Amino acid sequence: MPHSCSLILLLGLLAGCALGPDYQRPELVTPVQFKQVEGWTSAAPADALARGNWWALYGDAELNALVERLQLSNQSLAAAEAQYRQARALVRGARASFYPTLSGSAGVTRSGQGASGTNSSSASGISKSYDLSLSAAWELDIWGKLRRGLEASRAEFEASAADLAAARLSLQSELVQNYLQLRVLDEQSRLLDATVAAYARSLRLTENQYRAGIVPKSDVSQATTQLKSTQAQAIDLQWQRAQLEHAIAVLVGVSPVQLSIAPRESLPALPAIPLALPSQLLERRPDVAAAERRVMAANAQIGVAEAAWFPDLSLSATGGYRGSSFVDWIEVPNRFWSLGPQLALTLFDGGARRAELERSEAAYDQTVAEYRQTVLDSFREVEDYLVQLRVLEQESGVQQEALDAAREALRLIENQYRAGTVDYNSVVTVQATALSNERSNLTLLGNRLLASVQLIAALGGGWQVEQLQEQASSAD
């Protein structure tokens, strides 16, 4: 018995160490600053920081309400949240393996031998046995297998939490983009309705001039063609708007028939994103955080695989009562007990443990590569949206100049037509050019709004509005 106690004490001391490599974040080669904007630098992950209601930057109360509904009722988000709770339960299950298990049993057994056709129990060899027992078992974590398992479960839980944040951000971004596109379509519809009204007036003027013998019949045909073509463009926007409205309805967790978004004439504001944003925002991306946590989990699984080469030590104890009579069942003479340690070691497995270790090491290498690729993709996305916003802003300035010129040309040509100095074909050409420039201007504004949403999502979800306003004020 002293030797057994000494062995248990020695093995208990060994329980302070765990097999397998301790986790270290994989090395990354990251740029000092972004290519497209000066002053952007990388930083340590801060994905746990609060992101705030970034969609409020667009200054649209209806959009804010829709995003809140999404967070409460979206079914994809509910599924991701349920997956997160599963991962949390797995951590609790892994932690429970550190504690002893206790089980109890009670039962009665009848057994017999020989003939059963007689009324005598003794003659037929029938007997009864009453059992009441309590058992305890505890596996000592000598080699760190349980600790590495818990470490892996915790990392997967944190990855699941990051997955939930990534799903939430993706759905928020999708809803905001759909809503902004819908509002741009409303503005295009308003433009086309106004243009149809203007073309209708031009048609009436041309018909009057034709009846007065001033212009030929072909001018009336051209005016009619232009009016009807523009009316068809206005009608075409209806199905596009309806599909965006249906998509928004599904995102907020209702059927399309249950959601109606009334048209309006104002567009959400284009947020002024400061050029020198906090560098932490890039690595607050939840997908980067999830990839890094999965590297941690894969690293811990290597330790679990290495521990399989060493013996498991378990302590077990059993006690209870066993007797043949119910009356004196629970008495000292019927008591039994057992207590002792047990070492278990697999002596031959045909290479299964070696294969599992190699698989765990390969899985770790895979997660490292996926983590590095996720980081590279995140930098690329930020660079893409930065250059897109910059170029679209420049393009928008030039397009506005083109639009101003087209409006002026339209005003002049209409006056010349009324004076009879040009034919209607010239008017139609200038009108078409003016309308094309009006729609291009709106399309550019819509693209800038969408790119701003995509940039915010690429940076990990946004900022506290108050902080953004403070930065904008200090930048001014």
Phi/psi region, residue 27 (left: phi>0; alpha: psi -120 to 50; beta: rest), is: beta
Task: Give per-residue pLDDT as tens, 240-267.
Answer: 999 999 999 999 999 999 999 999 888 8
Give the C-alpha separation, 158 to 151, whole Å: 11
Residue 37 phi, psi (nearest 5): -135, 130
Name residues whose C-beta falls within 8 Å of residue 177's C-beta, 6 or more positions apart in sequence.
450, 453, 454
pLDDT-based confidence at residue 37 (cuts at 50, 70, 90): low
Closest CA to 107 of 318, 334, 337, 329: 329
Task: Give per-residue pLDDT as tens, 435-466.
Answer: 989 899 999 999 999 999 998 888 887 544 44
Cross-sheet strand order for the sheet of 127-140 = 101-111, 127-140, 312-323, 335-344
| Amino acid symbol at 198 | A
- pLDDT at residue 66, rounded to an integer: 96
Structure token pair of residue 278: 């906090």
pLDDT(474) > 70: no
Kindly report the average pLDDT of the chain as a whole number.
Answer: 81
Asked whether 253 and 75 are in contact (CB, 8 A), the reply is yes
- pLDDT at residue 340, rounded to an integer: 82
pLDDT-based confidence at residue 114 (cuts at 50, 70, 90): low
- pLDDT at residue 224, rounded to an integer: 92
Asked whether 174 and 140 are in contact (CB, 8 A), the reply is no
pLDDT(1) > 90: no
**Cα–Cα–Cα angle for 90, 95, 97, rounded to 5 degrees:** 105
Asked whether 2 and 9 are in contact (CB, 8 A), the reply is no
Lowest-confidence region among 40-49, 341-350, 372-381, 420-429: 40-49
Secondary structure of residue 104 in the 3-state scheme: strand
- pLDDT at residue 43, rounded to an integer: 39
pLDDT-based confidence at residue 31 (cuts at 50, 70, 90): low
Neighbours of 19 (CB within 10 A): 19
- pLDDT at residue 453, rounded to an integer: 92
- pLDDT at residue 424, rounded to an integer: 81
Give the C-alpha separation, 457 to 53, whole Å: 12
pLDDT(9) > 80: no
Where is pLDDT greater, at 88 or 13? 88
Does the reported pTM lie above 0.75? yes
Task: Give per-residue pLDDT as tens, 297-336.
Answer: 998 888 888 888 888 888 888 988 888 777 777 777 888 8
